[in-house]
Amino acid sequence: MYIGDYLARRALYTPEKEGFVDFGKTPALRLTYAQANERANRLAHFLRQQGVGYRDRVAILARDGIEHLDLFFACSKLGAIHVPFNWRLHPRENAALMRLVTPRGLFFSGEFAPQVAEMRRLLQETGHAPVFFVHLDEPGLEDSVAYARVLEESPPEPVTYEALEAEDIAALLFTGGTTGLPKAAMISHRMMAWNTLNTIVHDLHHDDVYLNVFPLFHTGGLFVYTLPNVILGGTTLLVRQFDPQQVLTLIETERVTVFAGVPTMYQMLTQAPNWNEADLSSLRFCTAGGAPLPVPLVEQYAREKGVRFKQGFGMTEFGPGIFALAPEDAIRKAGSIGRPNFYIEARIVDEEGRFLGPNQVGELVLKGPSMCSGYWNNPQAWEEVLDVRGFFHTGDLARYDEEGYFYIVDRKKDMFISGGENVYPVEIERALYEHPAVHMCAVVGVPDPKWGEVGVAFVVCKPGISVTEEELRAFLRQRLARFKVPKRVVFVDALPLSGVGKVLKRELRRRWMEGAFGERTS
Question: What are the chain's domains?
Answer: 1-14+33-164 (3.40.50.12780), 416-513 (3.30.300.30)
In terms of DSSP H, where are the helices of 421-499?
A: 425-432, 469-477
List, in order, residues 6 or more apart from 150 with CB less than 8 Å away. 42, 43, 46, 134
Cβ neighbour number for residue 180 with a 10 Å cutoff:
12
From the list 233, 235, 213, 64, the residue with the least C-alpha distance to 224 is 213
Query: How far apart are the C-alpha atoms of 518 and 411, rounded to whole Å?
Result: 26
Which residues are registered as beta bridge partners of 81?
Answer: 57
Residue pair 422/453 in contact (Cβ under 8 Å)? The answer is: no
Contact in structure between 438 and 465 (CB atoms under 8 Å): no
pLDDT, one tens digit for every residue, the chain (522 residues): 678 899 999 999 999 999 999 999 999 999 999 999 999 999 999 999 999 999 999 999 999 999 999 999 999 999 999 999 999 889 999 999 999 999 999 999 999 999 999 999 999 988 889 999 999 999 999 999 999 999 999 999 999 999 999 999 999 999 864 445 789 999 999 999 999 999 998 789 999 999 999 999 999 999 999 999 999 999 999 999 999 999 999 999 999 999 999 887 898 898 899 999 999 999 999 999 876 777 778 889 999 999 999 988 889 999 999 999 999 998 899 889 999 999 999 999 998 999 999 999 899 999 999 999 999 999 999 999 999 999 999 988 889 999 999 998 766 667 788 988 878 787 888 889 889 898 888 999 999 988 999 999 999 998 888 899 999 999 999 999 999 999 999 999 988 875 444 678 889 999 999 988 876 544
Which amino acid would we find at residue 8?
A
Give the contacts of 386 (CB within 8 A, at least 6 positions apart): 392, 393
Residue 53 β-bridge partners? none
- Count other Cβ atoms within 10 Å, centred on residue 381: 16
Any idea how long the chain is?
Answer: 522
- Exposure class string for 441-454: b at 16+ Cβ within 10 A, else e: bbbbbbbbeebbbb
Amino acid making up residue 489:
V
Please say whether the beta carbons of 440 and 446 come within 8 A: no
pTM: 0.84
User: Would you say 88 and 481 are in contact if contact means Cβ atoms under 8 Å apart?
Assistant: yes
Q: Which amino acid belongs to residue 515?
A: G
CB 273 within 8 A of CB 300: no
How would you classify the pairing of strands 339-340 and 318-325? antiparallel
β-sheet with 57-61: strand ranges across? 145-146, 132-135, 105-108, 57-61, 81-84, 169-175, 183-188
Q: Letter for the amino acid at 149? A: R
List the end-to-end C-alpha distance of the chain, in Å, as a whole number.
54
Distance CA 241, CA 265 (A): 12
Q: What are phi and psi of 137, to 5 degrees?
A: -155, 180
DSSP assigned state of 222: I
